[in-house]
Amino acid sequence: MQPLFTYFGFRFVKVEGMEQVNLDDFTGCVLYSELEETGHIETSNPDVNRLFLNAMWGQKGNFLDVPTDCPQRDERMGWTGDAQIFASTACYNMYSPAFYQKYMRDLREEQIQLNGSVPFVVPTIKPKGEQNMFAMNGSAAWGDAATVIPWTLYMHYGDKELLRQQFDTMKDWVDHIKRLDDESGGSRLWKVGFHFADWLALDAKDPSILTGGTDSYYIASAYYCYSAQLVAKAARVLGYEAIAEEYDSLVGEIKAAIVAEYFSANGRSAIPTQTAMIVALYMDLVPESFRPRLIEDLKLKLRDDDLHLNTGFVGTPYFCPVLSENGANELAYELLLNDDYPSWLYAVKMGATTIWERWNSVLPDGSISDTGMNSLNHYAYGSIAEWMYRYMCGITPLENSPGFKHFELKPKPFGRLSSAKASFQSASGLIKSEWTIEKNGSLTFEFTIPFNTTANITLPDADLQMVQLNGQPLSKGKQDGTAVTITFGAGHYVFTYMPTKMYLLMYSTNDTVRELLQNEDTKEVLLDVLPEINENPMILKQVLKKTVKELQESPFVSHLVTEEKVKELDEQLGRVLIQV
């Protein structure tokens, strides 16, 4: 029995009324738009591999004519926020230009009726004689599907004509925001209307508040700036130089207003949430001089939050990219590999086969969370797969050569994984990127570059004199700081070298007290040298989140943590390999 006019998202089926049930008599039919799978990722960690597959299956379960939020409850609607958040991941996973072109055509038809605004849901659901949120429009991040999706498609497929078709959609959305801004005083901030903000973030003071703890008008103003940047970029690509300059000027005004309203003179964010700092860094909202302070503050905030995210639909997709892009790649891996709540792998450990809507859709005891609105197939947080392609495996398109005609191969390994590989059938051909941290500590990178393309390759922590290519000394290349860079055309390349820093991870006094106490070997070392920290429960609670080196500044134990003891601990901890 197969229905023709509806479909159901499910994982389990209950069968009743049959005396004998034979599993072989039942076949589950997978139904989704006919999209070719183009990407795959595999690592040394089975849970990460399952997470990637969950994102892929979430896409399959929701890409049926329109990109729906979930396939299994009373919605199955084309929520614009989910669609733009996941767009780049979708383009890595599957060949998506026609699918998104159709969705953007639907969006444009709705937008024309709304004088530039964009509905929460496309196509809009308008129950007769009823006004509800499904028929509303104009939220930041959701409406920004009008700019983010066209630019994402251009970056992935390099189709300038498709960008031209969607340019009016992009421009009209920013013009709509600017009109609201002008009508409310022209502050160059977006401070009117309802916004979903950092939807389902965990940092709201009241857990029942679904929009998170980051000021909704800050997020709205950030997207105002970001979308204006995308319009300027698109205009320049299409040769509309006057429009590009107009929107560049608007971007400058918005940035100045955001900095004046939400940042101190020294670059401290007035909104001390993870998402506030992530958005500022990702969307380039602040002067270059503010960035070091913001990055350090974000790292401190993450440490205060036990190295766990508490972000929602806005902050989560950008979190790991921001960390990897700004010298904190190891923290991006920490977030990826956390397996307790809240984290991506918590759901995997709980048996998830798709991405959940909430970080705690299922509770540790296996019961369904009583949060009310709850979906077990909601692909938005599956956007972590984009970070896997772009940063873990390093396959990145370039703005000056979209569609992967010329691209970057800049993988960022970390010792919590021993290997990772990605294959991607790009618009220009099959790209492969693979790395392995060998047992002797050396690095191996294996790349495939397709016909009629070129790639800028970056080998991290490499000495040019030590790099071998296909078993021979590398005859060309450039030492660029701690990395080696080289550009190659089509071919298959294998690089091997001993890195200038250790990728096999050993414990050290840069690890937290909590991390050292969780391993029997390091626990023995720590308590042998500093037994006092475990003797008083109050003191232990105060120092758990701190690294051993940070204990030197703690008023509770600084008198115990001498330079000699730190040196002794480093020597002994450095003999213990972190197992992966």
Share of the chain residues as helix, strand and coil, in percent rounded to the nearest 5: 45, 15, 45
- DSSP, res 224: H
Query: 415 by DSSP, 3-state: which?
Result: coil
Tell me, letter by letter, the H, E, C secondary structure of 346-369: HHHHCCCCCCCCCCCCECCCCCEC
Length of the chain: 580
The DSSP result for 109-153, as a single string, is: HHHHHTTT--BSBSSPP--TT---GGG-B--TTTTTHHHHHHHHH
563 included as an active-site residue = no
Looking at 34, 37, 42, 75, which residue is catalytic? 75
Contact 96, 83 (CB under 8 A): no
Query: 166 by DSSP, 3-state: which?
Result: helix
Both tokens of 376, joined, read 């077990």
Measured distance CA(100)–CA(33) in Å, rounded: 11
Tell me, letter by letter, the H, E, C secondary structure of 495-528: EEECCCCCCCCECCCCCEHHHHHCCHHHHHHHHH
User: In Å, how far are 33, 275, 309 from 305, measured between CA atoms?
Assistant: 40, 13, 7
* Angle 156-239-102 from CA coordinates, rounded to 5°: 40
75 included as an active-site residue = yes
Strand 406-409 to strand 454-459: parallel, antiparallel, or no bridges (unpaired)? parallel
Both tokens of 81, joined, read 């926020």
The DSSP result for 251-293, as a single string, is: HHHHHHHHHHHHB-TTS-BSS-SHHHHHHHHHTT-S-GGGHHH
Both tokens of 63, joined, read 């890409």
Torsion of CA 208, 210, 215, 220, to 10 degrees: -160
Looking at 19, 36, 334, 357, which residue is catalytic? 357
> What phi and psi, each to the nearest 5 degrees, are found at residue 199?
-50, 130
Measured distance CA(458)–CA(81) in Å, rounded: 34
> What phi and psi, each to the nearest 5 degrees, are found at residue 208?
-80, -10
Token match 């809240």: residue? 342
Active site residues: 75, 357
